[in-house]
């Protein structure tokens, strides 16, 4: 809901052409903010372009690890608030190419934060996106994750995000006192999630008849899924609160989830049930039997106790409601995507 805070604010979003970044840009534009985004690869197969948002924001080509560029953006664009969302997010890529993952997730983070530090007087709020994966593996009896759990990542992606997480908190410490908060959210899903290594868009596209779903495990893994509109509402709430008064907020870590864990198998079942493809579901479930998963944590979910207490936030969508919206969005997107491919072959 608009309250006027973001109107006219200069907001820098790293990772603007990604899933969360595109949705955040959409939310900021609705609040009449002036949005500046960093664009490393001009990929037009994204929510930002599909929903015709790219022409409404200022896009700057460049690399997150380019410190001089980060400084110029902050100064020349007179940035008030920063949302650092850029990351290499694929677990599989992290396993195959840990160097690239660390360059983006670790070096990219300290490069941006160092540029912010030099111009801290102008920056009112910095929100850094970490992940529930940074916690590493805890037993199911330790769920939901709590903000004070020690980070003990094991795999390259998890470790890189834990490093970025700790760097952000170091810059927010008594040494530099930057207005930074760190977010560790559970699995985010929704319109514009075009990373098809993620379970929701992969299964939806398959259930809609466009691709063949190949399970990556037996479906027993437990996850928590939060709808992207709820995440954007929380980001904007956090950024506003931090900019108005950082006391008691800066340097803090905030988990956000629904505290409603669900198995990967059940996610697939719900998606295929929406499509009515009973044969497809039977095929997928048969392929899941006995299939081992490598490089992923067994069980992860979160509550929203702390963010509810401090910001009054709680998710508005349960998994089913968010999934219905997501499924409908992908009906439009997939029809456009695959029709464009067919036209290109003619």
- As annotated, the active-site residues are 157
Task: Taking the CA atoms of 37, 101, 188 and 45 in sequence, report the sign of the dihedral they define.
Answer: positive
The closest alpha carbon to 120, from 162, 81, 69, belongs to 81
CB atoms within 10 A of CB 296: 19
Are 31 and 81 a contacting pair, CB within 8 Å? no
DSSP state of 151: P
Pairwise CA distance, residues 79 & 227, whole Å: 28
Q: Three-state DSSP class for 126?
A: strand
Q: Provide Rg for the chain, Cα atoms.
A: 20
């Amino acid at each position: 809901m608009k309250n006027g805070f973001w109107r006219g604010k200069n907001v820098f979003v790293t990772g603007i052409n990604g899933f969360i970044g595109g949705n955040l840009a959409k939310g900021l534009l609705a609040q009449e903010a002036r949005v500046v985004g960093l664009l490393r690869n001009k990929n037009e197969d994204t929510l930002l372009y599909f929903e015709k948002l790219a022409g409404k924001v200022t896009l700057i080509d460049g690399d997150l690890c380019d410190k001089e560029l980060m400084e110029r953006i902050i100064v020349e664009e007179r940035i008030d608030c920063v949302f650092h969302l850029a990351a290499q997010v694929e677990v599989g890529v992290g396993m195959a190419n840990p160097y690239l993952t660390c360059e983006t997730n670790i070096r990219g983070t300290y490069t941006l934060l160092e540029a912010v530090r030099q111009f801290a007087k102008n920056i009112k709020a910095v929100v850094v996106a970490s992940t529930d994966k940074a916690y590493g593996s805890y037993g199911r009896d330790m769920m939901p994750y709590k903000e004070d759990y020690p980070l003990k990542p094991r795999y390259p992606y998890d470790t890189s995000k834990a490093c970025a997480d700790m760097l952000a908190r170091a810059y927010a410490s008594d040494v530099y006192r930057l207005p930074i908060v760190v977010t560790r959210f559970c699995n985010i899903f929704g319109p514009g999630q075009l990373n098809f290594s993620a379970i929701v868009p992969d299964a939806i596209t398959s259930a809609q008849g466009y691709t063949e779903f190949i399970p990556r495990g037996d479906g027993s893994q437990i996850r928590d899924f939060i709808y992207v509109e709820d995440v954007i509402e929380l980001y904007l709430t956090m950024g506003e609160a931090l900019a108005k008064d950082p006391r008691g907020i800066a340097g803090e870590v905030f988990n956000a989830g629904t505290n409603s864990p669900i198995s990967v198998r059940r996610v697939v079942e719900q998606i295929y049930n929406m499509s009515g493809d009973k044969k497809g579901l039977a095929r997928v479930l048969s392929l899941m039997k006995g299939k081992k998963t490598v490089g992923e944590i067994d069980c992860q979910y979160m509550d929203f106790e702390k963010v509810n207490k401090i910001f009054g936030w709680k998710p508005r969508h349960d998994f089913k409601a968010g999934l219905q919206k997501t499924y409908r969005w992908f009906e439009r997107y997939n029809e456009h995507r695959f029709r464009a491919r067919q036209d290109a072959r003619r």
